[in-house]
């Protein structure tokens, strides 16, 4: 996608120094556009954990490049042990986004029997590049399939924009490119279908207000940022035609973990008969589990993310300020699980399916 007319992805190899990975450091968006150089596996782990980059597919790509950096810095003797240690380190950085574990498992399989460090470096770099290219294509295809749903809604109300509500940021900055939930939105906008996006601010880290709004603005998509509590009211008044969200981990039976607050939107959507779609590439499925509420690990983040809020002062400084009484405890579950029965459909790179095991496995028969 483009920023100020210049095309970017979220992560890439430094053009003149292949031992450096560059990322868009999302902590400062929308107020500052910063590119960060990452030179070690440890630094990549910090970037994932402290959310310099975030969003499940983007985290998966970062983990893949983290393994490449680990291979570069591994000792010649004992490189396999070093790679295993670093994969364990990366694996624990963000527990809910399954793309991370899926990427590490896939590259680790390719490293089995690898004869030397030089080959390990090649395997990891090729894997990271291919995984990123595949992820971009999958997200593009999610847009192609999701566009059909938006077209149908538009056909029923040709003179008005299609109003879509989204939560958190499942846009191109949460992936390598295109986004998941936003991919059909960009596809519709590019096809000339009038869309308008209700952007949940998404407390506590405000990925909607900061990042989704930034993306949509850069792409020229009409949107309105709303406090997290407004969606239900808008739905009751016919102001939302559909909800599309992303996912950090979806089970083989269609239970969806996504940013905290998604479940409440799904309940409101059900009560108001608003279609609730989840868009995800197959890297965000966890085919090993069924019961999302019982089995998906929910990341608990620092309480400070709730009690402090970041913004730009009139003089242009980016500051964090205390929101709550100094002595009030706060709590920060980062994700919740929306049970499959609240999901109208799952938009994947292979097409759209119902949120149940038979329908999901019909699209992904290799996981039967």
- How near is the Cβ of 166 to ligand MRU at its closest, in Å? 9
CA 342 to chain centre: 20
User: What spatial distance separates the first Cα and last Cα of the chain, rounded to whole Å?
Assistant: 35
Instruction: Show the tokens assigned to 333.
Output: 């579950």
Residue 172 or residue 287: which is nearer to ligand MRU going by CB?
Answer: 172
Using the rule CB under 6 A, is 24 a contact of ligand MRU?
no
How far apart CA 231 and CA 290 sit, in angstroms, is 29
- How near is the Cβ of 258 to ligand MRU at its closest, in Å? 5
How far apart CA 67 and CA 127 sit, in angstroms, is 10
Position among 56, 142, 256, 353 found at the interface with ligand MRU (CB under 6 A): 56
Q: Which residues pair with 345 in a beta bridge?
A: 277
Using the rule CB under 6 A, is 204 a contact of ligand MRU?
no
Using the rule CB under 6 A, is 346 a contact of ligand MRU?
no
Residue 87 or residue 175: which is nearer to ligand MRU going by CB?
Answer: 175
Position among 27, 52, 54, 265 found at the interface with ligand MRU (CB under 6 A): 54
Residue 22 or residue 166: which is nearer to ligand MRU going by CB?
Answer: 166
- How near is the Cβ of 248 to ligand MRU at its closest, in Å? 5
Residue 117 or residue 265: which is nearer to ligand MRU going by CB?
Answer: 265
Where does residue 5 fall: left (phi above 0), alpha (psi -120 to 50 degrees), or beta otherwise? left
Residue 241 or residue 248: which is nearer to ligand MRU going by CB?
Answer: 248
How far apart CA 197 and CA 186 sit, in angstroms, is 11
113-152 footprint of ligand MRU as x/- string (CB under 6 A): ----------------------------------------
Using the rule CB under 6 A, is 252 a contact of ligand MRU?
no
Q: Quick check: helix, strand or coil at residue 284? A: helix
How far apart CA 101 and CA 18 sit, in angstroms, is 24
Q: How many residues lie near ligand MRU (CB under 6 A)?
A: 18
Instruction: Show the tokens assigned to 93.
Output: 């950085």
- How near is the Cβ of 338 to ligand MRU at its closest, in Å? 11
Q: Tell which positions 151-180 bind ligand MRU, by CB under 6 A.
A: 168, 170, 174-175, 179-180
CB neighbour burial string for 330-350, b if at least 16 within 10 angstroms, e if fewer: eebebbbbbbbebbbbbbbbe
Q: Contact at 8 Å (CB) between 310 and 319?
A: yes
Position among 258, 283, 307, 338 found at the interface with ligand MRU (CB under 6 A): 258
How far apart CA 364 and CA 368 sit, in angstroms, is 8
Q: Contact at 8 Å (CB) between 186 and 219?
A: yes
Position among 1, 11, 24, 55 found at the interface with ligand MRU (CB under 6 A): 55
Give the range of 48-56, 118-126, 187-195, 340-348 binding ligand MRU by CB under 6 A.
48-56
Residue 138 or residue 196: which is nearer to ligand MRU going by CB?
Answer: 138
CA 290 to chain centre: 21
Residue 57 or residue 345: which is nearer to ligand MRU going by CB?
Answer: 57
Position among 45, 48, 57, 250 found at the interface with ligand MRU (CB under 6 A): 57
Q: In degrees, to the nearest 5, what angle opens at C-alpha 118 toward C-alphas 117 and 124?
A: 85
Give the range of 55-63, 188-196, 222-230, 357-365 binding ligand MRU by CB under 6 A.
55-63
Q: Which residues contact 171 (CB under 8 A, 6 or more apart)?
A: 55, 179, 181, 182, 211, 212, 215, 216
Number of helices (H) and strands (E), helices first, in the chain?
Answer: 13, 18
Instruction: Show the tokens assigned to 72.
Output: 């570069």
- How near is the Cβ of 310 to ligand MRU at its closest, in Å? 14
- Is residue 248 part of the annotated active site? The answer reads yes
From residue 208, alpha-carbon distances to 3, 37, 136, 275 in Å are 17, 25, 21, 20
Of these residues, 248, 255, 286, 336, which one is catalytic? 248
**Interface ranges with ligand MRU (CB under 6 A):** 54-57, 97, 168, 170, 174-175, 179-180, 207, 246-248, 258-259, 334
Return the active site residues.
248
């Amino acid at each position: 996608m483009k920023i100020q007319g210049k095309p970017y992805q979220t992560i890439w190899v430094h053009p003149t120094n292949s031992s450096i990975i560059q990322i868009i450091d999302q902590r400062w968006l929308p107020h500052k556009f910063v590119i960060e150089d990452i030179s070690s596996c440890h630094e990549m782990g910090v970037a994932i954990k402290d959310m310099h980059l975030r969003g499940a597919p983007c985290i998966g790509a970062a983990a893949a490049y983290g393994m490449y950096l680990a291979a570069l810095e591994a000792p010649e003797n004992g490189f396999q042990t070093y790679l295993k240690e670093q994969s364990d380190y990366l694996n624990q950085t963000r527990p809910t986004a399954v793309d991370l574990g899926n990427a590490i498992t896939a590259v680790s399989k390719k490293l089995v029997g690898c004869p030397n460090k030089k080959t390990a470096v090649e395997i990891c770099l090729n894997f990271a590049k291919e995984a990123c290219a595949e992820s971009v294509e999958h997200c593009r295809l999610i847009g192609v399939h999701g566009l059909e749903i938006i077209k149908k809604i538009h056909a029923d109300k040709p003179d008005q924009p299609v109003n879509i509500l989204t939560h958190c940021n499942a846009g191109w900055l949460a992936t390598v490119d295109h986004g998941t939930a936003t991919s059909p939105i960009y596809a519709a906008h590019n096809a000339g279908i009038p869309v308008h996006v209700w952007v949940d601010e998404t407390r506590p880290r405000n990925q909607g207000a900061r990042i989704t709004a930034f993306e949509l603005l850069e792409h020229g998509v009409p949107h309105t940022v709303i406090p997290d509590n407004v969606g239900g009211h808008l739905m009751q008044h016919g102001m939302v035609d559909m909800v599309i969200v992303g996912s950090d981990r979806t089970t083989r039976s269609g239970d969806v973990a996504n940013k905290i607050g998604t479940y409440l939107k799904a309940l409101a959507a059900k009560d108001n008969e608003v279609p609730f779609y989840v868009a995800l590439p197959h890297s965000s499925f966890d085919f090993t589990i069924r019961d999302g509420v019982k089995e998906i690990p929910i990341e608990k983040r620092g309480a400070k993310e709730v009690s402090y809020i970041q913004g730009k002062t009139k003089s242009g400084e980016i500051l964090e300020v205390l929101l709550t009484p100094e002595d009030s405890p706060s709590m920060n579950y980062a994700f919740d699980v929306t049970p499959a029965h609240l999901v109208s459909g799952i938009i994947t790179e292979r097409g759209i399916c119902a949120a149940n095991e038979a329908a999901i496995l019909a699209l992904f028969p290799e996981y039967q």
